[in-house]
Chains A and B, each alone.
Chain A
Amino acid sequence: MTVRKQAQEIVRLLIICPLLFQMSCDSFENERETGSGNPSAPDRSVVVTSNYPLYFLSRQIVQGVDAAPDIVLPDIEGDPVHWVPSTDQIQRLQTADLIILNGASAEPWLNWISLTQRKIVNTTAALSDRLITQDQSVRHQHGPTGDHSHNPTAFTTWLDPTLLTQQARAIEHALTALTPEHATQYRRNMSALAQSLAGLDQELSKVFAQLNDRPVLFSHPVYQYLQRRYKINGESVHWEPETEPSTTAWIDLQDKLVRHPATIMIWEEEPLPATRKRLHDKGIATVAFHTVSNRPPEGDFLSAMRLNTQALGATLEMSAAE
């Protein structure tokens, strides 16, 4: 091979390698969006889920089933409750065979977009008597009459594993109606999933039992179902982990601590170091208990909840030692 030919080969490789790399990246991105390790077959049904817990449940139910529906979690940045679907995402929702929703006000975007009603599955529709209504929003009116408020239901139902099991059953029924030929496998997977969720419920019960009715603070009012399920003596503030609380917020906290002397504060994410230090100075330990509403950086819903449990357990032990 001449030097000229060798040079040509090298140039060719230099062109092809980045292209191959780009193609592999694209395919990875597609996997992230669809959530499926297998390329979508054109004849497979498409099921879109509105948050990560529902995606996790659906994937568990169809696990190992050949030609099962393609379970999709849209590419949502941040908390799915604040999601405003893009035009492409709306079209994807409209062309899906099934849209699995959490219900309980977790999908405010439903109020703004047009979808086919018969494709929608509200997994908490049968749980209306167990949903928690919030009554903390500011009322407003335009002129002298017509006052109103936006009064949503607490939406993090998945933090109560017993509710989550019921939601999983609703998904199983919907998937069975969509692809009845896989009913037996869905039922088998659902049994295994119910056992896993029962195990999670036991773990959470055990760790929260250590609180023994000690007052707890929640950084945000998103733990209502967790609080009710495990009888946590908790109160919520409206603090954001990435923001330094204002002076008013600290004064309000001080007032709250007088009647609710909490020593532990549960956060959605790790708070800023300065906030953590100031809380520590007040004798309040902080712990992150992720709601896992969106895809965790690693692992799955169960492993993320176990990490939550371990972190909480460790904090409680440390707090007790102090």
Chain B
Amino acid sequence: MTGALFLGWRYLAHHRIKTSILVAATALMLFLPAGTRLLVEDGAAALRARADATPLILGAAGSELELVLNTLYFHAESPRTLRHAALEKARATGLATLIPIDARFRAQGAPIVGTSLEYFEYRNLTLGSGRQMGLLGECVIGANVAASGGLGPGDSLISSPETVFDIAGIYPLKMKIAGVLARTGTADDAAVFVDVRTSWIIQGLGHGHTDLAKPGAQSAILDRREDMITANAALAQFSEITPDNVTGFHFHGASGAFPLTGVIALPPDQKAAALLRGRYQNSDSGLQLIVPKTVLSELLDTVFTVQNYVILGLVMLSLATLAVISLVFLLSQQLRTGEFRTLSRIGASRSYIALLITSEIGFVFLISVALATALTLITRHFSMQLMRAFLSI
């Protein structure tokens, strides 16, 4: 019996290319349906976890999904905005802790997220190195941003224009990195966090320049009247906020009119959540208060429906592959008739030859199963990274 197994193994080893193709086809046939299901389920679990931890999101009326993706994953290209006054109004109800999110700009490809310190407490984000952002213009960066850019506390990042066509739109702001967040395995690892007022400065709503009332600013003055100084184009604006020039930074207009892309609302209990939601139902204020869990569930239901069709297709494909593999083995037996006759003449029984053929098929399937298992384990290990790479979450 061991002789038949040995001969079967040697046959496969001798015909390496044929064996490799058979093993690869069989392994993929086994792996693809399982791997697809695994990827979708793990991705869905990750999406759900972040959404479940976010009770409510306040945002501008429009696409609910875009609002959720941008607030949770800082994802949208040109998100709709609401006024900061809407946050103040919601805060005045006392029904929830409100966390602003302004995620529209990027630095070295990473989203710049303007928020408040409450965000870090709420997401349990701790510092891996450095300190929390303190002055305007400082940022803390996610672990992936630090690793990919080789950045650390004390280094700087420069904000990019909102779009490539927005060359004159915003001033690039040089932001000092105060700290690097510990890795969390979430979208926070890939973000640059700043104070929401810093994101307004990036947008150009606030700026810093020398005090026009001071004697040194004469060359930058176009016109001076008793109660009004008009600056000319020579007035240089600061491109970096430092302890020395921070007092020269100011905002134009009321902060209530400044934009946010979303507001995370954290009501203390279900009652407060219900009361708060009631205030925005059938509201014609141009705002919507949504439950991210519900929005994502609807998205995931669609994803799962599509996934079932994909898996059905893969099963059909697997059956076809199985048929082709069977054909390959059958044809192989026919080609090897002479070989089996020789074996019979030197004393091999029919059962011995049957065992030889079965061992060859068995070895191919055993190796394929081992390979498919290894691929599945690798997929499970890297599923989150793969999902983030594909979905940019």
Report which A residues bind B (CB closer than 8 A).
Answer: 84-87, 90-91, 94, 108, 111-118, 138-144, 146-148, 150
Residues on B with beta carbons closer than 8 Å to the beta carbon of A118: 97, 118
A117 to B121 alpha-carbon distance, docked (Å): 12
Which residue from A84, A111, A115, A147 sits with its C-beta under 8 Å from B117? Answer: A115
> For window 117-149 of chain B, which residues contact chain A by CB distance below 8 Å?
117-118, 121, 131-136, 138
A122 to B230 alpha-carbon distance, docked (Å): 35
Which 6 A-B pairs have CB atoms at the shortest separation, nearest pair first? Answer: A90-B134, A140-B229, A114-B195, A139-B228, A116-B117, A112-B246
Please state if B231 and A138 are interface contacts (CB–CB under 8 Å): no
Of A113, A141, A142, chain B has the most CB atoms within 10 Å of the CB of A142
Please state if A84 and B134 are interface contacts (CB–CB under 8 Å): no
Residues on A with beta carbons closer than 8 Å to the beta carbon of B252: 146, 148
Q: What's the minimum C-beta distance from B37 to chain A, rounded to whole angstroms?
A: 43
Please state if B228 and A113 are interface contacts (CB–CB under 8 Å): no
The answer to whether B216 has its CB under 8 Å from any CB of chain A is: no
Q: How many A-B residue pairs have CB under 8 A?
A: 81
Q: What's the minimum C-beta distance from B122 to chain A, rounded to whole angstroms?
A: 11
Contact with A along B17-56 (1 / 0, CB 8 A): 0000000000000000000000000000000000000000
Residues on B with beta carbons closer than 8 Å to the beta carbon of A108: 247
Residues on B with beta carbons closer than 8 Å to the beta carbon of A147: 228, 230
Please state if B117 and A91 are interface contacts (CB–CB under 8 Å): no
Please state if B230 and A91 are interface contacts (CB–CB under 8 Å): no
* Residue in B closest to A144 when the chains form the complex, CB atoms: B230
A261 to B116 alpha-carbon distance, docked (Å): 52
11 A-B interface contacts by CB (under 8 A): A84-B246, A84-B247, A90-B134, A91-B131, A112-B136, A112-B246, A114-B116, A114-B133, A116-B121, A141-B228, A143-B230
Q: What's the minimum C-beta distance from B351 to chain A, rounded to whole angstroms?
A: 80
Residues on A with beta carbons closer than 8 Å to the beta carbon of B231: 140-143
Q: What's the minimum C-beta distance from B271 to chain A, rounded to whole angstroms?
A: 20
The answer to whether B311 has its CB under 8 Å from any CB of chain A is: no
Please state if A94 and B134 are interface contacts (CB–CB under 8 Å): yes
The answer to whether B249 has its CB under 8 Å from any CB of chain A is: yes
Which residue from B135, B229, B235, B250 sits with its C-beta under 8 Å from A138? Answer: B229
The answer to whether B212 has its CB under 8 Å from any CB of chain A is: yes
Please state if B116 and A112 are interface contacts (CB–CB under 8 Å): no
A108 to B250 alpha-carbon distance, docked (Å): 10
Please state if B235 and A142 are interface contacts (CB–CB under 8 Å): yes
A116 to B133 alpha-carbon distance, docked (Å): 12
A294 to B135 alpha-carbon distance, docked (Å): 23
Residues on B with beta carbons closer than 8 Å to the beta carbon of A139: 227-229
Q: What's the minimum C-beta distance from A143 to chain B, rounded to whole angstroms?
A: 7
Residues on B with beta carbons closer than 8 Å to the beta carbon of A143: 230-231, 233
The answer to whether B213 has its CB under 8 Å from any CB of chain A is: yes
Residues on B with beta carbons closer than 8 Å to the beta carbon of A86: 243
Residues on A with beta carbons closer than 8 Å to the beta carbon of B118: 116-118
Which residue from B134, B235, B246, B250 sits with its C-beta under 8 Å from A150? Answer: B250
Q: What's the minimum C-beta distance from B138 to chain A, rounded to whole angstroms?
A: 8
A85 to B136 alpha-carbon distance, docked (Å): 12
Q: What's the minimum C-beta distance from B141 to chain A, rounded to whole angstroms?
A: 15
* Residue in A closest to B117 when the chains form the complex, CB atoms: A116
A144 to B227 alpha-carbon distance, docked (Å): 15
* Residue in A closest to B228 when the chains form the complex, CB atoms: A139
Residues on B with beta carbons closer than 8 Å to the beta carbon of A91: 131-132, 134
Please state if B213 and A138 are interface contacts (CB–CB under 8 Å): yes
Which residue from A87, A140, A148 sits with its C-beta under 8 Å from B134? Answer: A87
Please state if B250 and A141 are interface contacts (CB–CB under 8 Å): no
Residues on A with beta carbons closer than 8 Å to the beta carbon of B228: 138-141, 147
Q: What's the minimum C-beta distance from A248 to chain B, rounded to whole angstroms?
A: 14
Contact with A along B93-124 (1 / 0, CB 8 A): 00001000000000000000000111001000
Residues on B with beta carbons closer than 8 Å to the beta carbon of A146: 252
* Residue in B closest to A114 when the chains form the complex, CB atoms: B195
Q: What's the minimum C-beta distance from A100 to chain B, rounded to whole angstroms?
A: 18
Residues on B with beta carbons closer than 8 Å to the beta carbon of A94: 117, 132, 134
A138 to B212 alpha-carbon distance, docked (Å): 10
* Residue in B closest to A119 when the chains form the complex, CB atoms: B117
A148 to B254 alpha-carbon distance, docked (Å): 11
> For window 131-176 of chain B, which residues contact chain A by CB distance below 8 Å?
131-136, 138
Known interface pairs A84-B247, A139-B229, A141-B231. Does A112 touch B212 (Cβ–Cβ under 8 Å)? Answer: no
Of B116, B121, B134, B138, chain A has the most CB atoms within 10 Å of the CB of B134
Residues on A with beta carbons closer than 8 Å to the beta carbon of B250: 111, 150
A140 to B228 alpha-carbon distance, docked (Å): 5
Please state if B116 and A117 are interface contacts (CB–CB under 8 Å): yes
A141 to B121 alpha-carbon distance, docked (Å): 39
Q: What's the minimum C-beta distance from B133 to chain A, rounded to whole angstroms?
A: 5
Residues on B with beta carbons closer than 8 Å to the beta carbon of A148: 252-253
Q: What's the minimum C-beta distance from A97 to chain B, rounded to whole angstroms?
A: 13
A141 to B221 alpha-carbon distance, docked (Å): 10
> For window 203-261 of chain B, which residues contact chain A by CB distance below 8 Å?
209, 212-213, 227-231, 233, 235, 241, 243, 246-247, 249-250, 252-253
Which residue from B97, B131, B134, B230 sits with its C-beta under 8 Å from A113? Answer: B134
13 A-B pairs besides A117-B118, A138-B213 with CB distance below 8 A are A91-B131, A112-B249, A114-B116, A114-B132, A114-B136, A114-B138, A116-B116, A116-B117, A116-B118, A138-B227, A140-B213, A140-B229, A142-B235
Please state if B212 and A140 are interface contacts (CB–CB under 8 Å): yes
Residues on A with beta carbons closer than 8 Å to the beta carbon of B131: 87, 91
Of A86, A118, A146, A150, chain B has the most CB atoms within 10 Å of the CB of A118
A146 to B138 alpha-carbon distance, docked (Å): 27
Of A84, A114, A115, A143, chain B has the most CB atoms within 10 Å of the CB of A114
* Residue in B closest to A82 when the chains form the complex, CB atoms: B247
Residues on A with beta carbons closer than 8 Å to the beta carbon of B136: 111-114
Q: What's the minimum C-beta distance from A254 to chain B, rounded to whole angstroms?
A: 19
A150 to B249 alpha-carbon distance, docked (Å): 11
Q: What's the minimum C-beta distance from A269 to chain B, rounded to whole angstroms?
A: 23
Residues on A with beta carbons closer than 8 Å to the beta carbon of B247: 84, 108, 112
Of A85, A139, A144, A150, chain B has the most CB atoms within 10 Å of the CB of A139
Please state if A113 and B229 are interface contacts (CB–CB under 8 Å): no
A139 to B231 alpha-carbon distance, docked (Å): 11
Q: What's the minimum C-beta distance from A90 to chain B, rounded to whole angstroms?
A: 4
Please state if B229 and A114 are interface contacts (CB–CB under 8 Å): no
Residues on A with beta carbons closer than 8 Å to the beta carbon of B212: 138, 140
A115 to B227 alpha-carbon distance, docked (Å): 34
Residues on A with beta carbons closer than 8 Å to the beta carbon of B213: 138, 140
* Residue in A closest to B198 when the chains form the complex, CB atoms: A114
